[in-house]
Amino acid sequence: MKAVAALLNRVEFPLLLAGVVIAGGMWGFLELMEVARDGAPHSLDSEILLFFRVAGHPDMPIGPHWLQNAVRDITALGSASVLTLVTAATAIYLFLVRKWATGLFVIAAIASGQLLSTLLKAGVDRPRPELVSHLMQETSLSFPSGHAMISALAYLTLGALASRAVHGRTAKIYVLSLAVFISLLVGVSRIYLGVHWPSDVLAGWCAGFAWAMLWWLAARLLQSRGEPETAD
C-alpha cells in the first residue's frame, strides 16, 4: 500500500485523470459494442428513445414545435461541416501566430478521430433505429454516433487549448466544462431527433473523450521531451 501511495504522489492529478478517462472510455465502448451487435435493441435503448416521444405516438416528439428547430441547430454543432470549419479556423489562427506544432496537432487529433469513427461504424454495421420516426435525414450507419464522438473530441481538444490562454482555476474549469456541456448537448440532440440509439451516443462519448485524452497525453509527452514550439 505504501508503494502504491508513493506512486500516486509522484503522478500528477491531470495525468491520473486522463488515464482514468481513457481506461473507462475504452471499457465502456467495448461493453456498448456488445449491445450494438445484438440483433434486438436493448430495452433501455427503447425506453429512452420513447421517453422523447409523446406516449402512443412515436412519430411525435415531446415539447413545442420550436424545440425541434432548436435541437436541429444544436445537433449541427457536431456536424462534419461545422467541426471542419471550426478546426480549420483554429489551425489557421495557430499557424498565423506561428504555433505550427499546435496547429498540426489539432488537425491530426480531429482528423484521426473522424477516420476512427468511420472505421468503427463500418466494423459494427448497426442500422439506424426504426422504433421512432427520424426528425432529420441520415444515411450513414448508427454505431457509434459520429456527432457525439467527434464533438467530444473536437470541443474537448479546443477547450484544453483555450484553457491554457485563460488565467485562474475557475476560468479554466469553466472553459473545460463548457466544452463537455456542448458535447453532451450534441449527443442528447441525436437521441431526441430519433437518429441514434442512446447506446450509440454513449459509445460516441466514450470513444471521443478517450481519444481526446490520448492525444492530450501525447502532447504532454512531446512537451516533456522538449519538442520545440515556434515562439509567438
Tens of pLDDT, residue by residue over 87-102, are: 999 999 999 999 888 8
Report the phi/psi class of residue 18: left, alpha or beta, with left for phi > 0 and alpha for psi in -120 to 50: alpha
CB atoms within 10 A of CB 155: 26
Can you tell me the distance from the alpha carbon of 134 to that of 194, in angstroms, rounded to the nearest whole number?
5
Catalytic residue ranges: 147, 196
Could you tell me the pTM of the whole model?
0.84
* AA letter at 62: I
Can you tell me the distance from the alpha carbon of 3 to that of 70, in angstroms, rounded to the nearest whole number?
53
CA distances to 102, 110, 113 from 99, rounded to whole Å, are 5, 17, 22
CA distances to 74, 96, 122, 124, 167 from 184, rounded to whole Å, are 10, 31, 24, 23, 25
Tens of pLDDT, residue by residue over 7-28, are: 445 456 566 776 777 888 889 8
Can you tell me the distance from the alpha carbon of 76 to that of 54, in angstroms, rounded to the nearest whole number?
24
Can you tell me the distance from the alpha carbon of 200 to that of 206, in angstroms, rounded to the nearest whole number?
10
* AA letter at 74: I
Instruction: Report the pLDDT value the prediction gives residue 32, as an integer from 0 to 100.
Output: 87
* Closest C-alpha among 45, 49, 69 to residue 58: 49
Residue 100 makes CB contacts below 8 A (sequence gap 6+) with 94, 229, 230
- For each successive 10 residues of the chain (232 residues), what is the average pLDDT? 49 66 84 81 86 89 91 94 93 91 90 92 87 87 91 91 83 90 94 93 93 84 58 41
Tens of pLDDT, residue by residue over 24-48, are: 888 988 888 888 887 667 788 889 9
* Closest C-alpha among 172, 180, 162 to residue 14: 172
Can you tell me the distance from the alpha carbon of 32 to that of 147, in angstroms, rounded to the nearest whole number?
17
**57 DSSP β-pair partners:** 54
Q: Compute CA 215 distance to the chain's CA centroid, rounded to the nearest angstrom.
A: 13
